[in-house]
Chains A and B, each alone.
Chain A
Amino acid sequence: MGCGDAESHAGRSRAVTDSALGRFEVGLSGWRLRHPLPGGLRVSVLRHGESENNVLGIECTDLVNKDLYGLTPVGVEQIEHIAEQEYD
């Protein structure tokens, strides 16, 4: 895994990491990048909004089914809200 050093730090207080994390305050701030990104490149991630298969409790992941289920109205609102929040 290339993160033996990570293991040596496991179990230390999460609260400390939470103080200076900005967007990583939910437990992610203390993780270090195993493969640093090139300088200047910024990568952000977002998990899609609530979708119809989530609500129905149906697994759908492969290419055959990938277009069956879209966002619910709640999912659309979630993403619109994020778009407004993050717009700058």
Chain B
Amino acid sequence: MRRAVESATILADCWGVTARREDLLIEVNAGIFENRPDAERLEWKEQNRSRYYPSGESRSDVDGRVSSLLGKLRAGPPEEHVLLVTHGGLLFHLLHGVFGRVDWQEYCEAYSNGRRIFELKNYESPLLSSTTPIR
């Protein structure tokens, strides 16, 4: 959370706006891999074909958080422009919650750390790129 808060604070200071901490945006809990080398988690993920780790948050846990977050946004002032600064895993679930499906490879290309701001628009297109179910 600290890295997301730092990022949001830099932006808020530059733009003269207020940053607010939202715990629903905390990264997905990786359970037994917490504070362990990423390589161990990635190996387990590959072997088990799952991004939900023992003792960590389940998919329903994260979906619940995303659902709560979207509910908060919808309940807020309708004329606001909100920037969510968050973490890779949670952002993937957020996009999945909003769009229904997200291609992991495209996501990784588009949403590397600190790359750019994307606006979620009420955009409808008959065209969809290849999709991968979330696991």
A residues near B (Cβ < 8 Å) are 1-3, 6-7, 9-14, 16-17, 23-24, 26-54, 57-71, 75-76, 78-80, 82-84, 86-87
Contact A83 B10 (CB under 8 A): yes
Contact B74 A41 (CB under 8 A): yes
Contact B114 A82 (CB under 8 A): yes
CB distance from B115 to the nearest CB of A (A): 7
Residues of B within 8 A of A49 (CB): 3, 6-7, 113-114
Kindly state whether residue B64 has any CB partner on chain A within 8 Å. no
Contact A80 B14 (CB under 8 A): yes
Total cross-chain contacts (CB, 8 A): 257
Known contacts A10-B130, A64-B34; decide if A71 and B3 are in contact (CB<8 Å): yes
Contact A59 B35 (CB under 8 A): yes
Residues of A within 8 A of B111 (CB): 47
Q: How far is the CA of A39 from the CA of B120 in the complex (A)?
A: 12
SS class, residues of chain A in contact with chain B: loop
Most buried by B among A1, A30, A52, A57: A30
Contact A80 B98 (CB under 8 A): no
Contact B125 A17 (CB under 8 A): yes
Known contacts A44-B83, A83-B11; decide if A71 and B6 are in contact (CB<8 Å): yes
Contact A79 B100 (CB under 8 A): no
Contact A47 B1 (CB under 8 A): no
Known contacts A58-B37, A59-B34; decide if A26 and B109 are in contact (CB<8 Å): yes
Q: Which of B81-104 contact A (CB under 8 A)?
A: 81-89, 91, 94-95, 97-103
Which one, A14, A44, A58, A83, contacts B14 given CB within 8 A?
Answer: A83
Contact A82 B73 (CB under 8 A): no
Q: Which of B28-66 contact A (CB under 8 A)?
A: 28-30, 33-41, 56
Residues of B within 8 A of A11 (CB): 130
Please give me the residue from chain B that is nearest to A83 by CB atom: B14
Contact B128 A9 (CB under 8 A): yes
Kindly state whether residue B116 has any CB partner on chain A within 8 Å. yes
Contact B122 A36 (CB under 8 A): yes
